[in-house]
Structure 1
Amino acid sequence: MSPRFAPVLFGFVLSALMSLIVSGIATLKNAGFADGFLGLWISAWLPSWLIAFPTVLVVAPMARRFVGLFVKSPAPQVRG
């Protein structure tokens, strides 16, 4: 895969994991370890991921710029 796809792949993986964890916690909090918990979790996760993936692609560049306001750039290295 071309390195130019790295930001999209990163967003895909990040959104999948984050939405999986958050939907799992929310499902557990609301339903407990009831029968069918896994089915409830997956049915909550998939629509969440459909929203999270494009959101990450749009919001990540803005978040990077925002963080850049508070973090100093590294000094250029002198090669000798």
Structure 2
Amino acid sequence: MIPRKFEPYLFGLVLSGLMSLVVAGISTLRNVGLVEGFAGLWVGAWLTTWLIAFPIVLFVAPLARRMVQRVLAPQ
């Protein structure tokens, strides 16, 4: 099991992986269509995107949390 202190990083890894997978798939489909070899193109686009998305998510997540807190009604 992974220690809890790594939770924010693991969450960022999973979130960025899933989101970049979906976005890369949609972008690849729109650009080349459902052609032979589509899966390979998708995976290639996804891996490149994920390498960029993961550090961005780690950097932007605290900012996004603060922005959300500012617009929420007090308890």
Report TM bin, short chain: over 0.9
Alignment gaps of 5+ in structure 1: 75-80
Runs of 4+ in 1 over 2 A off after TM superposition: none
Higher alpha-carbon Rg = 1
Render the CA deviation track for 1:30-80: whole Å, top value 9, x for unaligned.
111100000110111101000000000000000000111001343xxxxxx
Alignment gaps of 5+ in structure 2: none
TM-score (norm 2): 0.94
Which position in structure 1 is the counterpart of 2:52?
51
CA RMSD of aligned residues (A): 0.8
Which position in structure 2 is the counterpart of 1:30?
31
* Separation in structure 2 between the aligned mates of residue 73 and residue 34 of structure 1, nearest angstrom: 51
Render the CA deviation track for 1:8-27: whole Å, top value 9, x for unaligned.
00000000000000000000
**Which of the pair is proportionally richer in helix?**
2
Q: State the aligned residue count.
A: 74
